[in-house]
Amino acid sequence: MVIAVAAGKGGTGKTLVAVNLALALQRYGIETTLVDADVEEPNDHLFVKPAISTRKEVTVAIPRVDEELCDRCGECSTFCAYGALATTPDRVIVFDDLCHGCGGCALVCPAGAISEVERVIGTIEEGRTPEGMAFMRGLLEIGEPKATPIISAMKESLDPAVVNVVDCGPGTGCAVMGTVHGSDVCVMVTEPTPFGLHDMDMAVRMAEALGVPSLVVVNKDIPGDTEVKRFCAEHGLEIALSIPFSLETARLTSSGVNLVDSGEEWSDAFLSLYGRIAPLARSGGA
């Protein structure tokens, strides 16, 4: 099973939910992998302290032009939909950052002047936490604009026999869509503020467009009627867990203490969240 933990923006408690859900499941005896797919700024490791045992580079193929063979016909730059090639009277310029590695330019080049070289764009690390939970994270190279090849490589490495709790990046961009796509369920983490509601609205639309069922966790929740609660009621979205806005919770999370380490009631709360997730998940749960 793949559970994507998403939020329309950063800072809503997405990592808090992913880490505590994964820990609660693993401790309950459900084999779990915590996957940090926030590849631009992964931080789940700070909360579960894994020992990394394997590192794998992720590469994309980018074109290189043999100027001896090239006759500047321009077919490659005309073909490239991403503007990654420019043909000048003197040479063909390749903009590596814009290239999506589709390989099409090499296919259309009539002179056979284009070959491909591999460029490292990031790393995937795997290991285990001290309590034996499997851990995976992706790391995008600094300055590298495209996270999706790393996300794709991570998804290919997921073990379908276990519960994979995937901490998505913030927002609803390509990398997050690529992460949520194909997941069995999406847990939307939000907070009861106008910004939280606006961004959750976008995230809910994204999950709907991808055909992934979703439910909601409200972080820093406050008592009484809120716009988030009304929105969820109007859209038939279940609020499966409410994490109250309290000094105690803020103190714990800001000092790096996992909620499930602070008391049995939090382990029960996250197991109960899983109890809501499993029937909703497209694969039917573990």
60 near ligand SF4, rule: CB under 6 A: no
65 near ligand SF4, rule: CB under 6 A: yes
Which listed range, 111-119, 139-147, 201-209, 257-265, lies at the site for ligand SF4 (CB under 6 A)? 111-119
To the nearest whole angstrom, how small is the minimum distance from the Cβ of residue 144 to ligand SF4? Answer: 15
d(CA 133, CA 258): 15
- Of 21, 48, 105, 241, which lies in the binding site for ligand SF4, with binding defined by CB under 6 A? 105
To the nearest whole angstrom, how small is the minimum distance from the Cβ of residue 121 to ligand SF4? Answer: 13
93 near ligand SF4, rule: CB under 6 A: no
Count of residues that bind ligand SF4 according to CB under 6 A: 27
**Residue 267 contacts residue 258 (beta carbons within 8 Å):** no
d(CA 196, CA 24): 26
Q: In terms of residues, how long is the chain?
A: 286
Site for ligand SF4 in 72-91 (CB under 6 A): 72-76, 79-80, 82, 84-85, 87
The pairing of beta strand 85-87 with beta strand 214-221? unpaired
DSSP string, 94-119: E-GGG-----HHHHH-TT--EEEEEE
- Of 27, 31, 45, 70, which lies in the binding site for ligand SF4, with binding defined by CB under 6 A? 70
Q: Which of 7, 1, 2, 37 is nearest to 207 (CA)?
A: 7
59 near ligand SF4, rule: CB under 6 A: no
d(CA 145, CA 8): 20
**Residue 30 contacts residue 3 (beta carbons within 8 Å):** no
Nearer to ligand SF4, 27 or 64 (CB): 64
Positions touching ligand SF4 (CB under 6 A) are 63, 65, 70-76, 79-80, 82, 84-85, 87, 92, 99-105, 109, 111, 113-114
